[in-house]
Structure 1
Amino acid sequence: MDLAELVDRAEITDALTRYTRAVDEGDFERLDTVFTPDAHIDYTESGGVADTFAVVKPWLAANLPAFSRHRLHTIGQVEFAFDAERTTCEVVAYFDNPMRVDDGKGGERVVEVGGLYRHSFVRTPQGWRSRRLHEQVVWTRGF
């Protein structure tokens, strides 16, 4: 592995972090620094939508407030598969996403989703951006 690949890996990891922080903090405009304008995002395995970034971004803003603002993603075990020219990269990252929801009795309870984020990243003039995300749910708890 050469220095350029290490830099590419770090930049993609930064994009993954921007993604989770944007979702966790409700800063959906920040997602513009993660996805290409024509990206396709699929959240159907967790009960969400599958559509273009332009449709999914406002859907997230409208639906995630049902969960407390105290969302807290963690990402781990990131695998990178670059093409020969290193202009695209298939990325698989383990995720765990605990969230608090209203329990209907005046309190809250924790629900959790774990799985794999499967991204297709592409090198753009603005840096590495995801042009496809499939959230693969492996397990849930508390729903």
Structure 2
Amino acid sequence: MTLTLQEISDRMEINDILTAYSTAVDAGRFDALRAVFTADARIDYSATGGIAGDLDEIISWLGEVLPAFSAYCHFLGNVDISLNGDAATSRTLCLNPMQTPDRSTFLLAIYYDDEWVRTVDGWRITSRTLVTKLHKEL
């Protein structure tokens, strides 16, 4: 597959935004997600017992739920991106070991299915659906 310079740039920017999402969540800087998603984004974490909602609802929910875990960390890989002009879709594998305060640890293996739009500020996620693959005690 031969890519144009614009396609290479678009893919790199999308990968950077995916990393920014993980970095913001893992650091507990949930307001930084405003630079990842469009203001009207719809986000659905219900596959793992979370909520589906708009960006403000998700930021609030993450701030309530994630502090209950003593450790967690997103590892992203296998990013499959399809570009279509100023729109794109992607599926990203995420492995997320999570530890509870009693030191119980489990591995969350999921996909993020995202819809993207190019904005004046660059690529942003306009829709995210979490898809469950595996939930296993370690």
Q: TM-score range by the shorter chain?
A: over 0.9
Residue 115 of structure 1 deviates from its aligned partner by 1.6
2:115 is matched with: 120
Instruction: For residue 72 of structure 2, give the secondary structure of its aligned residue in structure 1.
Output: coil
The CA deviation at 1:141 is 1.2
Q: Tell me the residue number matched to 1:80.
A: 81
Gapped regions of structure 2 (runs ≥ 5): none
Distance 2:79 2:64 in 1: 29
Alpha-carbon distance in 1 for matches of 2:36, 2:78: 19
1: CA distance, partners of 2:56 / 2:19:
20
**Which amino acid is 2:23 matched to?**
R
Partner AA of 2:88 in structure 1: C
Instruction: Identify the residue that residue 94 of structure 2 maps to in structure 1.
Output: 95
Per-residue displacement from partner, 1:54-103 (whole Å, max 9, x unpaired)?
211111111110112x32111111111111xx201001011100111122
SS in 2 for 1:102: coil
CA RMSD of aligned residues (A): 1.1
Q: Report percent identity of matched pairs.
A: 35
Of the candidates 112, 130, 134, which is equivalent to residue 135 of structure 1?
130
Provide the TM-score with structure 2 as the length reference.
Answer: 0.95
The alpha-carbon deviation at position 9 of structure 1 amounts to: 0.3
**Aligned ranges 1:1-143 → 2 under 5 Å:** 1-68=3-70, 70-83=71-84, 86-103=85-102, 108-142=103-137
Q: Which segments of 5 or more consecutive residues in structure 1 lack a partner in the other structure?
A: none
SS of the aligned residue for 1:118 comes to strand
Do 1:123 and 1:129's aligned partners in 2 also have CA atoms closer than 8 Å?
yes
Give me the TM-score of the superposition, normalised by structure 1: 0.91
Shift of residue 142, structure 1, vs aligned partner: 2.0
Residue correspondences, number: 136
Amino acid of the structure 1 residue aligned with 2:130 = E
Deviation sequence 1:18-72 (CA, Å, 0-9, x none): 001111111101101100010000000111000111211111111110112x321
AA aligned opposite 2:79: V
CA distance in 1, matches of 2:49, 2:101: 18
Q: Are the aligned partners of 1:25 and 1:71 in contact in 2 as well (CA < 8 Å)?
A: no
